[in-house]
Structure 1
Amino acid sequence: MLQIFENNLAALIFLHVISAVIWVGGMIAIRFAIHYSMQGIQEPKIRLERTLENLKRFFNMVIPTIITLLVTAIIMILVLGFKGTSLYSVVIAKEIIWTVMSIVFITIYVKRNKAQKYFNEGDFTGCKKQLLPIAKYFIPLNIFLGLIAIYLGITLRGF
């Protein structure tokens, strides 16, 4: 079974890298482009509604990439035989980072769903309270961690 992946290593690495780029790049776009453009919307209800919709669409886009990252990482660890090499500590560091990022993502997902519930009930203050730490802390944290993980991935490729 691993022979199939060994024969298609470039495709496997491509899937892994493009998944990381979509996840981290998507967060950068949301935080530094979409977030600031949303601030120009004067009506709070519309701004909250658009923010909730943007996050929902983002989740639909990145959940498959997060799963792809996990699966391709496991396969690459097995196929490339990192265990027992000097690079294995880098592999472990990446695993830790992606795990923390996934936990943060789940936190964002839960907070967004709570915000949607508050919004549906007409509690815009409660909605905003759930959304604020997403933009202020969680997405910037995941961007930072994601960039480190991408850099470590380049290290693993020997560049």
Structure 2
Amino acid sequence: MQSLFNNFSSIIIFLHVFSAIIWVGGMIAIRFAVHYSMQKVEEPKIKLGRTLENLQRFFSMVIPSIVVLLITAIIMIIALGFKGTSLYSFVIAKEVIWTIMTLVFIYIYIRRNQAQKAFDNLDFPLAKQKLEPIAKILIPLNIVLGLIAVYLGVTLRGF
């Protein structure tokens, strides 16, 4: 791992940071730009359909980002020798946060798929019910956690 990191550290760090930008930045864009613009759509069927499509497109970017984030994190943790240092608690805190975010993301993914099934069965109230906590609770929670993780990453990089 050390050799891999030494030879490709700039690429590994770039991919790690870029993946975090895609995930956290994408959630911010969806919650504070796309969500509010969707509120202007008056036809419930169109609004639900577009919301489901937007989330699906978001997932197609975020899932690879989560995988890249995990791989690059493991490489950096091993190569930079954080274990046994005073900074290791920051590393653990950051990884716990990303793990919680991943679990929340999986829950969002499941709820979105349930909403899609309800939508396909023309059960629009159920589809809306499945989507509501995503915008109101789950994405805002992951935004806050993601920003904390990014701050911890910047803190680690500064040491």
**TM bracket (short chain):** over 0.9
Report 1:70-149 matches (<5 A).
70-149=70-149
Partner of 1:7: 7
Deviations 1:15-59 (A, max 9, x none): 000000110000000000000000000000000000000000000
Unaligned runs of 5+ in 1: none
The alignment yields a C-alpha RMSD, in angstroms, of: 0.8
**Counterpart residue type for residue 20 of structure 1:** A
Tell me how far 1:143 sits from its aligned partner.
Answer: 0.2
Distance in structure 1 (CA, Å) of the matches to 2:98 and 2:61: 17
Distance in structure 2 (CA, Å) of the matches to 1:151 and 1:21: 12
Secondary structure of 1:8's counterpart equals helix
Deviations 1:46-89 (A, max 9, x none): 00000000000000011000000000000000010000111000
Distance in structure 1 (CA, Å) of the matches to 2:114 and 2:36: 22
Partner of 1:47: 47
Distance in structure 2 (CA, Å) of the matches to 1:4 and 1:86: 24
Partner of 1:157: 157
Secondary structure of 1:40's counterpart equals coil
Equivalenced residue count is 159
Distance in structure 2 (CA, Å) of the matches to 1:134 and 1:4: 38
Distance in structure 2 (CA, Å) of the matches to 1:47 and 1:6: 49
Unaligned runs of 5+ in 2: none
Partner of 1:59: 59
Partner of 1:26: 26
**Structure 1 segments (4+ residues) deviating >3 Å:** none
Tell me how far 1:11 sits from its aligned partner.
Answer: 1.0
Distance in structure 1 (CA, Å) of the matches to 2:98 and 2:18: 15
**Counterpart residue type for residue 131 of structure 1:** L
**Counterpart residue type for residue 50 of structure 2:** R
Tell me how far 1:10 sits from its aligned partner.
Answer: 1.3
Secondary structure of 1:82's counterpart equals coil
